Structure formats: C-alpha cells, structure tokens
Amino acid sequence: MSTPRFLAALALAAGLFAAPPTAAQVVQVTQPGVHAPEAVEVILPSGYQPGQPAPLLVLLHGYTSNSRVFQAFLGIRAHADARGYILAVPNGKKNPNGKAFWNGTDGCCDFFGENPDHVGYLSTLLDYLEQTYTVDPTRIHFLGHSNGAFMSHRLACELPGRIASIVAIVGTGWMDPAACPAAGEVHVLQVHGTLDPLFYGTSIIPSAQATVLQWVDKLGCSTTSSFGAPLDYTVSVAGIETEVRRYGGCRPGASVEFWRVVGGEHIMFLSDAGRTAIFDYLDSHPQPAALPPFQGPQARPLR
C-alpha cells in the first residue's frame, strides 16, 4: 500500500487557537484513520520572538513511555532554552495493549501489525509547527530513544532534505538497507551503549555498527573514520566513557557520527556534559541553506 496523502486536521487545544505563542502550549494534531488526537507539548525558549527563526528539536520517546516521562528522563529543557530551541514532544499511538509506540522499522515496534503512518503524522506535525512558529527550516532535528530512535532513523530515510539531523539513542535502522531510500542529505548521530543487547543486533534488528555503516554508504562517506575527544556522556557509567567516531568525506549537507558508550546499557541518564555535547552537535549540524526546498515525503510502501 502506498503512503497515503496526508489529510491531517490540525487544531489547538481548548481555547488556544487564536492565542499568541507562550512559553508552553499544548496542541492537538490528528491524522484521520492513522493516529488518534494526541496532546503535543510545544515549549518555546524564553527568548523566542516571532519573526526570528529558531531551531526546532522534536523528541520521540521509547516503547511504552510517553512525552512527559521522556522529558524528565532527558532533562534537557534548560539547555534547549539556553540555546534558543523550540521543543516539540509528541506521543506515539497506543497499541491494543495500551502501550505507546512508533511505527519505526520492521524491527520496532508495531508488534500488532497496525501499520500507522507515523512518517505522515510527524510530517504533519512539522507542517503545523512551521506554520505556527518561526522555525528555522535548516535546523530541524529529531532526537529519539529506543523505539523513538528507530523512528528517527526511518524519518531520516524518508524525509531527507527536511530534517537537518537525527540523534538516535540505543535504536538502529532497517535490517534491509534497501528499505531506506535516503535520497537526500541528512546528519546522523548514533549513540549506543555497549552493554545494551541491541548494540549487537538481532535476527531482525541490525547492530549499531551495521546501522552506522549503512549510513556511511548511503551518504557517500569514507569508510575511514577519525576520533573526536571522548565524552562523559552519562552519569550511569563512571568516568569519561564515550568514544566519538566521525566519518568524513560525505556529500555536502550529510555526515555520520557514532558515540560508543563503553559500559552503557539501554537506559543511560545524561550527564550535564552529555546534554551539552548533544546541543553542540545539533548546533554544528544544520542543513546547508542552498539545498532545494523540501518537496514532501517520498511515496513508498509502509512496512
């Protein structure tokens, strides 16, 4: 089945439709037949001014989690405010067991075969945010954990040219590289703990390293990597535990980076240095302004 046309109905939650932007708003974004109405919290930086483009960071929670829990887990609101980022925090669809999920790759996490078009839903959310706020179109980023990271990889595959970068934490890409068209340019950061079982992959989920090398191939990067300064990414492991590997020679507007968290598990609480490093990465990986305008998501079968 081809990706449907996005017949999305957008509305602000009770009484906020005509209200000017404030520090935090809750909006309703609906795509009929795909996703029930869900609250999406939009947090504006204290220095936000309409007419002055601001970067946007969309946060995608893991399987069974939700937007509020994920915000608390990351603890990045103060950093986002200081860097001038608009934050948008949507919730995934609830499956028949009441567990929220994103339809990321075939490996995670549409376990009931419902096949919701979450690429379309999140594209619709971007449409709304760009129409309502002054979003810098060259600085739209997604950060996902676990199932949210799988979804972030899918978005990088299907919405290249609209997304500047993804930060995928302990979630990987498609097992079959052909399932990811990636016709455009995007910056990809893979963050993964070496003690997380998904780090090594499964029969249906590629390993972290295999995912990185898929992106290296798709984005025309050199297979030779260089090392950046190591990071103290997480308080869950003592010391400076994270190896930073960068792949150069990619096409303009694209890059691949791998943060290998030695001793890190599936749940890793960020250190202040880790939060700073993430925003340093986002700040330094915009889209080139010269890229052609985004023409809409690529039509391809949903899996």
Structural domains present in the chain: 9-283 (3.40.50.1820)
Rounded CA-CA distance 142/158 in Å is 13
pLDDT score at 289? 72
pLDDT score at 292? 45
pLDDT score at 26? 62
pLDDT score at 181? 85
Percentage of residues in the chain with pLDDT exceeding 70?
A: 83
Give the residue ranges of the chain where pLDDT is below 70.
Answer: 1-38, 183, 290-303
Percentage of residues in the chain with pLDDT exceeding 90?
A: 75
Tokens for 51?
A: 């007419």
Residue 19: exposed, middle, or buried by beta-carbon count in 10 A (0-12, 13-18, 19+)? exposed
Q: What are 4-53's pLDDT values in tens digits?
A: 222 222 222 222 222 333 455 666 665 555 555 567 889 999 999 999 99
Tokens for 272?
A: 């202040």
